[in-house]
């Protein structure tokens, strides 16, 4: 457990650097979840995530000689930007090692603050091993993203801000990857509001920390696969696990489908861009994984907003299909003038808005003289889509996916 005085000292150090991000009631989500939900919007932090807090606090506690030599870090993106920003503030050299699959937006974000970027490894843990070796060879201080008391104390300042705004919380939902955020926050919460439940939410595709919490010993996984890249940590830190076992009341997991729905929900209903790691708490509430919180006051930490726009576009497109606002239909037409016009007239009569048409005459499954037409269209819900299917069937357009 991180001492409260250490977290309070961190708050004093970072007060002129990190933003005291908004903490506000979420009416639509509260209605959906059946509890009073408040969102802590760390996605609106200067670097787009809470990681700035721990990184700046760590650099602030280094000696002048250590800062003069420079620092090195390994990160999937948010810690990297936090270290890069903090190093620039102290006029310190920073080298950041990032996994090769890191989204371009996060790489560019790090370079923007003047840090050197090295891409190495397929995940955080491989990048971490490279960074440790690089730092030893070049006499740089390694800034760990979570296994460090000063870093954890910096992250714990999120809890101080939440409790300053609301003293009657029944539970706080916190994303969990390596455990630094929940370790720091849980330490502060249990020191100031012991009755408040601390609930960690992890991605099912990166289950090491949750498994370790349940087994009460550190266990690692062989691989991770999740859209929540900010919490895609393969191995468990004994240090952060020990803090979690002391201060955390519950751990749950959400899968990528649930995380994607949380991202889309926040975008549509809250007008917030939140990355996968930051959306796990909302995903847990939307999918009713915490029914014992009905009627309670619940804070949810939106830990970051550095979302890869390519992934976001895929999530939006799939979300539109799942919510029956878009549909795809493939039909077989006789390949002669007027066939396509009659087909599109039917869709027009049904108020379906065509956004894309693909025409295929060469598929080996087709008879000569036929063509497959695939249409993507905007629709007005499930009943509208069923009406379209019935109309196409009655007109003899039998081939449909």
List, by residue number, the catalytic residues. 51, 303
Q: How many residues does the chain have?
A: 401
Alpha-carbon span 165 to 185, nearest angstrom: 15
Neighbours of 50 (CB within 10 A): 31
Q: Order the strands of the 326-334 sheet from edge to edge.
A: 326-334, 370-378, 353-360
Distance CA 1, CA 186 (A): 8
- Report the C-alpha gap between 141 and 127 in whole angstroms: 16
Residues in Cβ contact with 256 at an 8 Å cutoff, skipping those fewer than 6 apart: 203, 204, 205, 226, 227, 228, 276
Alpha-helical segments (H) within 51-100: 51-60, 64-69, 78-89
State the CB neighbour count (10 A cutoff) for residue 394: 9
**3-state class (DSSP) for residue 121:** coil
Query: How far, in Å, CA of 205 to CA of 254, rounded?
Result: 9
Alpha-carbon distance of 37 to 166, in angstroms, equals 12
Listing DSSP states for 11-60 in one string gives HHHHTTTS----EEE-HHHHHHHTSEEEEEEGGGSTTSBTHHHHHHHHHH
- Measure CA of the first residue to CA of the last residue in the chain; give whole Å: 55
Please name which of 111, 132, 112 lies closest in space to residue 121, comparing C-alpha atoms.
Answer: 132
DSSP states of 273-312 = ---TGGGHHHHHHHTT--GGGTTSEEEEEE-B----HHHH
Going from the C-alpha of 78 to that of each of 102, 116, 170, the distances in angstroms are 11, 15, 29
Pair of tokens at residue 135: 């730092």
> And the tokens for 324?
């029956």
């Amino acid at each position: 457990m991180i001492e409260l005085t250490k977290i309070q000292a961190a708050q004093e150090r970072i007060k002129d650097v990190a933003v005291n991000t908004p903490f506000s009631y979420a009416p639509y989500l509260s209605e959906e979840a059946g509890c009073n939900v408040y969102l802590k919007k760390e996605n609106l932090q200067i670097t787009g995530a809470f990681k700035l807090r721990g990184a700046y606090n760590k650099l602030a506690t280094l000696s002048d000689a250590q800062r003069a030599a420079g620092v090195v870090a390994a990160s999937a993106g948010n810690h990297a930007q936090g270290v890069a920003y903090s190093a620039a503030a102290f006029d310190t050299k920073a080298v950041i090692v990032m996994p090769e699959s890191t989204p371009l937006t996060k790489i560019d974000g790090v370079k923007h603050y003047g840090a050197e970027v090295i891409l190495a490894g397929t995940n955080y843990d491989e990048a971490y091993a490279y960074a440790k070796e690089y730092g030893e060879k070049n006499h740089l201080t390694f800034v760990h993203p979570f296994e460090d008391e000063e870093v954890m104390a910096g992250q714990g300042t999120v809890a101080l801000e939440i409790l300053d705004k609301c003293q009657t919380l029944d539970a706080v939902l916190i994303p969990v990857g390596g455990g630094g955020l929940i370790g720091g926050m849980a330490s502060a919460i249990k020191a100031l509001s012991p009755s408040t439940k601390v609930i960690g939410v992890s991605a099912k595709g990166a289950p090491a920390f949750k498994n370790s919490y349940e087994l009460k010993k550190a266990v690692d996984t062989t691989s991770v696969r999740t859209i929540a890249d900010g919490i895609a940590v393969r191995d468990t830190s004994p240090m952060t696990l020990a803090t979690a076992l002391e201060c955390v009341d519950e751990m749950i997991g959400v899968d990528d489908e649930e995380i994607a729905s949380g991202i889309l929900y926040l975008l549509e209903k809250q007008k917030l861009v939140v990355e996968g790691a930051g959306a796990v708490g909302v995903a847990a509430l939307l999918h009713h994984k915490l029914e014992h919180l009905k009627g309670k006051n619940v804070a949810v930490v939106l830990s970051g907003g550095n979302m890869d726009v390519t992934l976001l576009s895929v999530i939006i497109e799939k979300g539109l299909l799942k919510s029956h606002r878009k549909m795809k239909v493939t039909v077989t037409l006789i390949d002669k003038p007027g066939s396509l016009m009659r087909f599109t007239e039917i869709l027009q009569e049904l108020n379906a808005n065509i956004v894309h048409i693909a025409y295929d005459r060469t598929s080996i499954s087709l008879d000569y003289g036929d063509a497959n037409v695939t249409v993507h269209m905007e629709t007005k819900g499930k009943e509208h889509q069923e009406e379209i299917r019935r109309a196409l069937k009655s007109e003899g357009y039998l081939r449909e996916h």
